Structure 1
Amino acid sequence: MTKTNFNTVLSIVAGLLIFWLFIDRENKNKKIIALEKEISENENLNKKIKNQLKELIENNSEIDPSVSNELGQIAALIEIKQETKALMALAKIIENLLKKLFKGDEKLKEIASENKRKNPSFADYLELARLNGVISTEDYHVISVLKIIRNEEAHELNVQKEQSRIIATFITGFATILTLTKMMKSIITAPNSQVTVGHKQKKDR
């Protein structure tokens, strides 16, 4: 190889190396920007959700102590960036409240049967709550997303969701918990132990 050819090859190699270093630096910069954005979004998410949780727990006497304890655990999961696991716990609270509210409701059995289930599932309780006007159609769809996230978290690894969807689901979930706990309290404290829930009158015997 002549000196001229050697210099040409060396120049090409140097050029490629410089180009590779430039691309590598650009990729690193993009990763840094993405990481900074993710950190910022997580901080904003934590702040919004924590404020909602604090208000829900501290400013509502209707919240049962056992529910408050569960909400505290949700706050701890959010603190360690386990939002989908926190949503899973939120779904558990809502499902248990719905089960207490609609225990023994004949309509629930009909809905489960129509959905080809022997025993009512979370989806059936949600549908009954929507039909009874306990939750709006819009909230019904958001809570249905919560149910899907819960199922994914139970069976899949590293479940990831959009931040905006997570925030919307948390806020709707908190509002639903407050609505259900108020209804439960009205059933317990209503005169003659009676209260009307949607289409059906509840009565303690």
Structure 2
Amino acid sequence: MDAKLDFSILKTLTELPGVSGRETAVREYLKNLLKDSADEISTDTLGNLIVFKKGTSDKNLLFCAHMDEVGLMIHFVDERGFLRFVTVGGIDPRTLLAQRVRVQTKSGALLGIIGTKPAHITTEADRGKAVGIKELFIDLGLPADEVKKRVEPGDWAVLDRSYEEFGDGKISAKALDNRAGVFVLAEVVRALKNPFYNVYAVFTVQEEVGLRGATTAAYGVKAD
């Protein structure tokens, strides 16, 4: 196996939106990437992408890496056009303030900024407590009526963070959990020739909200 990995694949993977339950963009990219490296590619009912490579034995070997990432789901649009949201997966609210996000709507992605009540109008009581999800909102920079036309409850958002290499071989990007694992598994599939085991590389969904895809894959593949 050539030890040189194609990190442009990881860059692309981290840039794709794929909140738990909304992994379509990641799945479609992987299907195209791996179509010439697999004996069979399928998608199960839950949305897992199953990439199969036939081995010379009758034993099944299962690898899993989850495609989904944590994110936000729009709960409602308030009277000022600010988007109120809940988290999808485990997110510490302290990490969200002033972050850029991409809100995924039916008409396309919209850039927004996460804000809260500005410092000059906070009270002493406000300043003495941690900011929670209920105090945060997404500002799209658009009039309220325009926002309400374009954004619906149930639309979702991902962080807008670029892929950057820094320091001594380090990488900063959104969704490295677990697009890094997806990248490694995809490279294994691309490099693997004539395996002994029947290899099932399963790119799973909804890990961030309860390991749902991996649980389904384990029962579906019946690996040894």
Same-fold call, TM cutoff 0.5: no
Query: Could you say which structure has the higher strand fraction?
Result: 2
Give the greater-gyration-radius structure (CA).
Answer: 1
Higher relative contact order structure (alpha carbons within 8 Å, sequence separation ≥ 6): 2
Q: Normalization by structure 2: what TM-score? A: 0.28
Q: Normalization by structure 1: what TM-score? A: 0.30
